[in-house]
Amino acid sequence: MKIAMHGVTGRMGTNQHLIRSILAIMKQGGVRLSTGEIQTIEPILVGRSPAKLKHLAETVATQETGHPIAWTTDLESVLADDSVEIFFDAASTQMRPGLLRTAMERGKSVYCEKPIATELESALELAEIAERTGVKNGAVQDKLWLPGIRKLRMLRDQGFFGDLLSVRAEFGYWVFTGHTADQPAQRPSWNYRSEDGGGMMIDMFCHWEYLINDLFGPVDRVLAHAATEVPERIDESGKPYRCTADDAAYAIFVLENGLTCQFNSSWTTRVRRDDLLTIQVDGTKGSAVAGLRECWIQSAASTPKPTWNPDVPQPINFYDNWQQLPNTTEYDNAFKIQWELFIRHCADDAEFPWSLASAAGGVRLAEAGARSAGDQTWVSMEDAVAHAH
């Protein structure tokens, strides 16, 4: 199965998709299908920089798998090549709709990073083309396979929480502005320019949408506030630039079932919590806090009884009375798990609900969040779609 990979020289493309997923799958021999057969894969890297592509395709691929893989800078020839079955894109978000549209019109299966588009109208159009052409399609929803999230799902399925009361997520960390030589910025500068497709809401609300939907149910409405808290940063070439995108977003999502989910997302906060993403779920019978890998629980019976008294040092260590869940299975890389599912979907029609249509829901939430912030009002998901048409 020939897979064209566009945008592999980027952060996500190189680490998560090429090394941790595709080369790892090649190293294990392929993907086992329901028939028991092994589906092998043959990637071809596509991009603009011959030097970077050559390094990945020859040096990195040989280190990982023992042999080099193919690469080219001729995107058009890849899109025209009938032997390429899957077109994958992890390059700049703004190019994505055009590339996916062409690939689908040429009958290729498509798989891509999120968000599938920066605007809902274009995301819905992609979902419509996927439906019309009937090609296999999907978008990355990696957080669903994080070990911490899998543990939360297990707790929910076992009825640990009793009745769900509320959900609170804290996401983010301090991203250096680059003004200090020894603290270079650790994320790409386009992330902080809205004209280049950057912004916390468009970046993260599409993750929050599928995560909330999967664990707790569909979002009904959103109230959000976006801020550009750091106005100037230093780019990759050492030049200062004006930040035009939101670097923090504060949101309340109310679900169709009435559950309240608060999500704070910030690139301008210093971490004093268990992990870079923590999700606390409170229920009548127990609470849980999930990080990326770990999950801690406190049952009704082990809930302490605090007293408000600032005249004495706090007698309770609130981290006590929480129990860390054990690891009871192998937790493979989340991106690799989803790649294997997509390859199975293409090879033998195995189910794959993480489609472009489902990913359009994430863009819808981001757009609803942006409208809520702009208008300083609640925005319902239904209104967001009506507004896009």
Ligand X SMILES: NC(=O)c1ccc[n+]([C@@H]2O[C@H](COP(=O)([O-])OP(=O)(O)OC[C@H]3O[C@@H](n4cnc5c(N)ncnc54)[C@H](O)[C@@H]3O)[C@@H](O)[C@H]2O)c1
Contacts with ligand X by CB under 6 A lie at 7, 9-13, 47-48, 90-93, 95, 113-114, 140, 142, 188, 190, 203
Separation between Cα atoms, residue 380 and residue 389, nearest integer Å: 15
In the three-class reduction of DSSP (H, G, I as helix; E, B as strand; rest coil), residue 14 is classed as helix
**If you write DSSP's letter for every residue of 73-139 in order, what string do you get?**
S-HHHHHH-TTEEEEEE-S-GGGHHHHHHHHHHTT-EEEEPSPS-SSHHHHHHHHHHHHHHT--EEE
Which of 11, 242 has the CB closer to ligand X? 11
Residues 6+ apart with CB under 8 A from 152: 215, 279, 281, 288, 290, 295
Cβ-closest residue to ligand X? Answer: 10
Q: Shortest gap between Cβ of 8 and ligand X (angstroms)? A: 6
Which of 11, 27 has the CB closer to ligand X? 11
Separation between Cα atoms, residue 156 and residue 1, nearest integer Å: 37
Which of 286, 362 has the CB closer to ligand X? 362
Q: Shortest gap between Cβ of 207 and ligand X (angstroms)? A: 7
Which of 97, 283 has the CB closer to ligand X? 97
Q: Shortest gap between Cβ of 187 and ligand X (angstroms)? A: 7
Q: Shortest gap between Cβ of 103 and ligand X (angstroms)? A: 14
Q: Shortest gap between Cβ of 245 and ligand X (angstroms)? A: 12
Which of 46, 368 has the CB closer to ligand X? 46
Q: Shortest gap between Cβ of 5 and ligand X (angstroms)? A: 10
Name the residue with tokens 């959000």: 224
Name the residue with tokens 């679900």: 255
DSSP letter at 243?
A: -
Residues 6+ apart with CB under 8 A from 151: 288, 290, 294, 295, 325
Long-range CB contacts (< 8 A, 24+ apart) of 180-189?
184/234, 185/233, 185/234, 185/235, 187/267, 188/10, 188/11, 188/236, 189/233, 189/234, 189/235, 189/236, 189/241
Q: Shortest gap between Cβ of 142 and ligand X (angstroms)? A: 5
Which of 161, 208 has the CB closer to ligand X? 208
Q: Shortest gap between Cβ of 188 and ligand X (angstroms)? A: 4
Measured at the CA of 88, the angle between CA 237 and CA 7, to 5 degrees, comes to: 10
Measured at the CA of 267, the angle between CA 262 and CA 270, to 5 degrees, comes to: 90
Q: Shortest gap between Cβ of 48 and ligand X (angstroms)? A: 5
188 preceded by cis ω (within 30°)? no
Separation between Cα atoms, residue 324 and residue 295, nearest integer Å: 6
Which of 46, 259 has the CB closer to ligand X? 46
